Amino acid sequence: MFIQGIRGATTIEVDSREEIDIKTKELLEEIMQENDLEIDDIIYIMFTATDDITSAYPAVAAREIGMDKIPLICCQEMKVDNSLNLCIRVLMLVQRTERAEVFHIYKEEAISLRPDIINRQRKG
């Protein structure tokens, strides 16, 4: 059994429940698709959000797409000068039967966080 961590991030345009829900679901679904994951492969997911996101927990969106048996936690991202606003980050710990290439997913304005990863990987 191999344990791997998969990272991802996205941004929202406005702090609203609907926007948080939509963008979180898109991010999680793309992480799962790009990494050939099933829900049962996920050990846990940690979400962080910048302090300007206050309308909803990203974990609620995860539960709505069937991740209701997975441990989920939301934390506030560190406040750093000149950092990206309205950003949701994900750390997903997964188990696999064999070591596999990991595809970290950065969307929207969050692409600026890791252009080195974005430019060299993506299956689709």
Identify the active-site residue in 7, 19, 30, 57: 7
Q: Which residue stretches of the chain have pLDDT < 70?
A: 118-124
The reply to whether 124 falls in a domain is no
Can you give the pLDDT at residue 70? 97
Q: Kindly report, residue by residue over 23-46, the tens digit of the pLDDT.
A: 999 999 999 999 999 999 999 999
Separation of alpha carbons 1 and 64, rounded Å: 28
Query: Which token pair is 64?
Result: 């709505």
Per the domain annotation, does 109 fall within a domain? Answer: yes
| The Cα angle at residue 65 between residues 105 and 9, in degrees rounded to 5 | 20
Strand, helix or coil at 114? coil
- Active site (annotated) includes residue 64: no
pLDDT of residue 115: 77
Q: Is 99 a catalytic residue?
A: no
Query: Is residue 79 in some structural domain?
Result: yes
3-state DSSP percent of the chain in helix, strand and coil, to 5: 30, 30, 40
Query: Is 7 a known active-site residue?
Result: yes
Is 17 a residue of the active site? Answer: no
Judge whether 113 lies within some domain.
yes
Catalytic site residue from 19, 74, 96, 109: 74
Tokens 């070591």: give the residue.
99
Query: Is 24 within a domain?
Result: yes
Record the tokens describing residue 88, joined without a space.
């949701």
* C-alpha span between 53 and 86 (Å, rounded): 6
For position 73, which CATH number holds? 3.30.1330.40
Q: Is residue 93 a part of any domain in this protein? A: yes
Kindly tell me the burial class for residue 82, based on how many C-beta atoms sit within 10 Å of its own C-beta (0-12, 13-18, 19 or more). exposed
Count of domains for the chain: 1
Domain that holds residue 26: 2-118
